Amino acid sequence: MNFDDYAGRFEVAASAFRFQVHPVYKVQKEQEAFQRFLATGEREIDFGNDMFRRIKERQETGRTAHRVYVLRPPLTDYQRFVFVSYHHYAEAGEDLRIIDTSRTANPGLPDYDFVLLNEETVIKVHYAPEDGAWIGPELLPDADPAQYIHYKELALAHSMPFLEYEKTLDT
């Protein structure tokens, strides 16, 4: 499975659940902005970017998307960087949620990233463990969707909405 196939499936899914566990994601298109953030502590947000368009389109068409990010404090520089955009994405209507392992024990969730589409398609997403560089998605055609629906339910039940979590952080 290549990135375009993965992204395309995510975009058209009636329901999408993304589960993230890495402390850093090395996203090539973010590198320049990330370096500026490290130097200045500030991040500019492009409110015309595709993410805001996709959030709006999902809402207008009745499709759902949830994202749960498992954090192991202290926050990394990358997490502080990405939280700036998460704030705006959550305000725009994306259901972003956090499980902070210093506050909530892992209720039995996996230690890898995955996406569950339409409660039936499971995609494991691989990243390099040393720096979070994208390796690629792996369609898991033999995975039991019921297990991943269970993971989704656990993650949603044990997580906190991002905008609530953000209020608890020291700035």
Question: In the prediction, which pLDDT does 132 show?
Answer: 92
Whether 166 contacts 87, CB under 8 Å: yes
In one-letter notation, the amino acid at residue 113 is D
pLDDT in the model for residue 47: 66
The whole-number pLDDT of residue 23 equals 94
What is the predicted pLDDT for the residue at 62? Answer: 86
Quick one: which H or E segment has residue 121? strand 121-127
DSSP symbol at 75 = P
| 2 — pLDDT class (breaks 50, 70, 90) | confident
Residue 114 · residue 125 · CB < 8 Å = yes
Q: Is the pLDDT of residue 171 over 70?
A: no
Preceding peptide of 74 cis, ω within 30°: yes
Confirm whether pTM is higher than 0.95: no
Report the mean per-residue pLDDT for the chain: 91
Percentage of the chain surpassing pLDDT 70?
Answer: 98
- 8 A C-beta contact, residue 26 and residue 81: no
- Spell out the CATH class of 3-167: alpha beta
Q: Is the pLDDT of residue 159 over 90?
A: yes
Please tell me the predicted confidence (pLDDT) of residue 138: 95
Nearest C-alpha neighbor of 163 from the set 77, 65, 95, 69: 95
What are the residue ranges spanned by the domains of the chain?
3-167
Give the residue from 47, 123, 40, 118 showing the smallest Cα distance to 81: 40
The residue that leads in pLDDT, 154 or 46, is 154
pLDDT tens by residue, 48-105? 677 777 888 888 888 888 999 999 999 999 999 999 989 988 998 899 999 999 999 9
